[in-house]
């Protein structure tokens, strides 16, 4: 679906790139004919950055080393595996996530960018200050990488539906409990064929909504039910009991839209209907910036499409940190490998990828990410909600050696919470069972890993 939408803007994007690069400052020639870049996928790199870089460096060979080739199952510590891969491949540029960035800085694998920024007087004034602050925080005060984009979901809401139902609209920095309570205000017409759901969440697994929603809330509140380092399952706590109560109240009230029930495939119009928020069937939806592209394509391609009157506020937050969020993800931090023979050229490329020209080129399309440089989405209303909160570093990574365990543990949670939904068990019973069965599964997984 996203490739279908991306193709609609590809030609205009390339045109903007060609125009913007004519004004790019810096060298476009080099005695070095090849530079090695560590990135998660070769094809994705050239799709996202290839056209831009090849115009500026037409004679350069960009050798992209895919991190998909890393065998994380070969070691118990994923950071050790990643660092060994860097030592083997010796890239000039590495592309990393926030948790990897912090570890690589600590272990001395990255070169500080401060000297390059100072020498070139590289302008960071238009970069979202929360992003650079986070990178400096993770780098013990120094800047070892730059990220041209970040990922974040915000809460979109239908202004007209709130007015029609006499409900106060959502606001920034609401907790999950406040958002779900607000969603229940739209549950009075549950039996109607044209009912309105209170809340839609774009990335929920419709076959496991309760577990997925509980994990989302727990992540927001920095609450884990597995501690691999301590070799413990930590599911039987008051915090988790409160989350399950909140989730079961929401699923029991049927306020969350099951997106699968509205999904149809075929024409562009039918594909866009997989977003029921567009048709006024959902009062609020938690979604990323790709929703802007859906809205734009709906206006252009669907006959008699009624334009949405929508607002946007921040995604739910942890009440203990209402001005911060763990939901902002930095997945593409570009950094120079310490000891690279082509560090100056590597900096030139990182500088270009994070430049205002790149931001201008990418501001004409949305692919789920948001530009770290601000001021380039002039034609999108309410974009401020995506830039309001300050990010907290969070670890999304789950060691691939324990994939089977996590899958089995999710099944246990689904089964035990299902008994509560069927009124065959209490929440106390469920979390106790999740704790004991989960610990048994973890012990087995740890033994297999050791063996």
Backbone angles phi, psi at 148, to 5 degrees: -75, -15
- Greater pLDDT, 7 or 208: 208
- Greater pLDDT, 396 or 107: 107
Residue 19 has pLDDT above 50, yes or no: no
Of 332, 317, 346, 369, the C-alpha closest to 101 is 332
Residue 1 has pLDDT above 70, yes or no: no
Rounded to an integer, the average pLDDT of 229-258 is 93
Rounded to an integer, the average pLDDT of 333-344 is 97
* pLDDT for the residue numbered 267: 58
Among 55-69, 161-175, 257-271, 360-374, which stretch is predicted with the lowest mean pLDDT? 257-271
Rounded to an integer, the average pLDDT of 348-363 is 94
Rounded to an integer, the average pLDDT of 206-226 is 93
SS (H, E, C) 128-174: CHHHHHHHHHHCCCCCCEECCEEECCEEEEEHHHHHHCCCCCCCCCC
pLDDT, one tens digit per residue, over 259-315 is 644 444 445 556 556 788 988 889 999 999 989 888 888 888 888 888 889 999 999
pLDDT, one tens digit per residue, over 385-431 is 999 999 887 665 566 678 899 999 999 999 999 999 999 999 999 99
Q: What is the mean pLDDT of the chain?
A: 86
pLDDT band at residue 182 under the 50/70/90 scheme: very high
Q: Which two tokens stand for residue 13?
A: 């994007």
Residue 44 has pLDDT above 50, yes or no: yes
- Determine what percent of the chain is predicted with pLDDT higher than 70: 86
Rounded to an integer, the average pLDDT of 360-366 is 85
Among 127-131, 155-159, 395-399, which stretch is predicted with the lowest mean pLDDT? 395-399
CA 446, 449, 451: angle at the middle one, nearest 5?
110
* pLDDT for the residue numbered 270: 62
Helix H or strand E segment including 312: strand 310-314
* pLDDT for the residue numbered 204: 83
* pLDDT for the residue numbered 405: 94
* pLDDT for the residue numbered 33: 81
Q: Provide the 3-class DSSP secondary structure of residue 60.
A: coil
Residue 365 has pLDDT above 90, yes or no: no
Rounded to an integer, the average pLDDT of 249-255 is 88
Neighbours of 308 (CB within 10 A): 17
* pTM of the full structure: 0.86
Residue 31 has pLDDT above 70, yes or no: no
Residue 45 has pLDDT above 90, yes or no: yes
What is the distance between the alpha carbons of residues 71 and 144, in angstroms, rounded to a whole number?
26
pLDDT, one tens digit per residue, over 77-91 is 788 889 999 999 999
- Greater pLDDT, 361 or 75: 361
Burial of residue 167 (CB within 10 Å: 0-12, 13-18, 19+) is middle
* pLDDT for the residue numbered 398: 62
What is the distance between the alpha carbons of residues 344 and 351, in angstroms, rounded to a whole number?
10
What is the distance between the alpha carbons of residues 385 and 311, in angstroms, rounded to a whole number?
9
Whose tokens are 């089995």? That residue is: 408
């Amino acid at each position: 679906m996203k490739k279908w939408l991306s193709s609609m803007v590809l030609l205009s994007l390339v045109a903007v790139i060609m125009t913007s690069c004519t004004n790019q400052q810096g060298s476009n020639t080099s005695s070095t004919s090849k530079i090695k870049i560590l990135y998660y996928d070769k094809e994705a790199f050239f799709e996202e950055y290839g056209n831009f870089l090849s115009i500026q460096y037409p004679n350069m060979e960009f050798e992209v080393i895919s991190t998909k080739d890393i065998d994380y199952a070969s070691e118990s510590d994923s950071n050790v595996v990643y660092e060994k891969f860097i030592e083997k491949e010796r890239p000039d540029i590495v592309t990393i996530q926030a948790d990897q960035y912090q570890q690589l800085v600590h272990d001395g694998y990255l070169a500080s960018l401060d000297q390059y920024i100072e020498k070139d007087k590289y302008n960071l004034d238009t970069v979202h200050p929360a992003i650079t602050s986070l990178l400096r925080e993770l780098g013990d005060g120094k800047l070892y990488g730059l990220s041209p984009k970040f990922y974040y979901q915000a809460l979109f809401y239908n202004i007209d539906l709130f007015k029609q139902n006499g409900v106060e609209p959502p606001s920034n920095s609401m907790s999950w409990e406040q958002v779900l309570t607000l969603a229940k205000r739209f549950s009075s017409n549950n039996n109607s064929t044209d009912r309105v759901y209170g809340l839609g969440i774009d990335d929920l697994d419709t076959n496991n909504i309760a577990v997925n929603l509980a994990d989302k809330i727990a992540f927001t509140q920095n609450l884990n039910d597995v501690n691999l380092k301590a070799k413990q399952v930590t599911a039987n706590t008051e915090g988790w009991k409160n989350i399950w109560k909140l989730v079961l109240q929401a699923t029991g009230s049927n306020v969350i839209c099951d997106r699968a029930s509205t999904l149809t495939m075929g024409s562009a119009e039918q594909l866009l209907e997989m977003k029921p928020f567009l048709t006024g069937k959902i009062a609020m939806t938690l979604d990323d910036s790709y929703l802007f592209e859906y809205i734009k394509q709906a206006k252009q391609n669907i006959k008699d499409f009624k334009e949405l009157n929508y607002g946007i506020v921040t995604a739910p937050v942890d009440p203990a940190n209402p001005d911060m969020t763990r939901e902002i993800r930095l997945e593409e931090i570009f950094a120079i490998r310490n000891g690279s023979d082509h560090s100056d050229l590597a900096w030139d490329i990182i500088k270009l990828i994070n430049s205002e020209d790149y931001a201008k080129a990418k501001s004409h399309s949305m692919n789920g990410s948001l530009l770290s440089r601000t001021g380039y989405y002039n034609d999108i209303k309410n974009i401020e909600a995506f830039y309001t909160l300050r990010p907290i570093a969070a670890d999304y990574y789950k060691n691939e050696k324990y994939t089977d365990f996590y899958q089995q543990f999710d099944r246990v949670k689904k089964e035990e919470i299902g008994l509560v939904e069927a009124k065959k068990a209490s929440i106390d019973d469920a979390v106790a069972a999740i704790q004991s069965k989960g610990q048994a599964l973890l012990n087995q997984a740890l033994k297999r890993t050791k063996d």
